[in-house]
């Protein structure tokens, strides 16, 4: 099963959005997912340690967008 083409496009757009507003997100130290800043625990691994450094968020967003998906990008955006 291959992922639909638009999901990759969506991930790139999501990454751009995150990179332009890194203060609204943080990186999970457990699995590297990017979650919204208000999240208490990671929706992916249920970890509770996060790195909210804007530089880390931006570089992680780019890395996740380029790599094969194995971590979620802001699963809890809405
Ligand atoms: Zn996590």
Position 76 in a domain:
no
Per-residue model confidence (pLDDT) at position 41: 97
pTM of the model: 0.75
Residue percentage of the chain with pLDDT more than 90: 62
In the chain, how many domains are there? 1
Position 32 in a domain:
yes
Query: In angstroms, what is the span from residue 2 Cα to ligand 1's centroid?
Result: 24
Position 59 in a domain:
yes
Query: In angstroms, what is the span from residue 76 Cα to ligand 1's centroid?
Result: 12
Position 72 in a domain:
no
Position 58 in a domain:
yes
d(CA 59, CA 47): 20
Render pLDDT for 12-35 as a digit per residue (tens, 0 to 9).
898 999 999 999 999 999 999 999
Position 41 in a domain:
yes
Q: Mean pLDDT in the chain?
A: 85
Per-residue model confidence (pLDDT) at position 9: 82
**Domain containing residue 37:** 5-66
Query: In angstroms, what is the span from residue 75 Cα to ligand 1's centroid?
Result: 11
Residue 27's Cβ-count burial label (10 Å; 0-12, 13-18, 19+) is: buried
Per-residue model confidence (pLDDT) at position 77: 53
Position 30 in a domain:
yes
Position 57 in a domain:
yes
């Amino acid at each position: 099963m291959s992922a639909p083409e638009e999901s990759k496009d969506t991930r790139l757009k999501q990454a751009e959005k995150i990179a332009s507003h890194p203060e609204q997100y943080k990186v999970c130290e457990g699995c590297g997912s990017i979650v919204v800043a208000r999240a208490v625990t990671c929706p992916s691994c249920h970890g509770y340690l996060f790195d909210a450094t804007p530089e880390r968020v931006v570089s992680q967003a780019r890395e996740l967008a380029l790599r094969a998906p194995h971590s979620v990008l802001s699963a809890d955006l809405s």
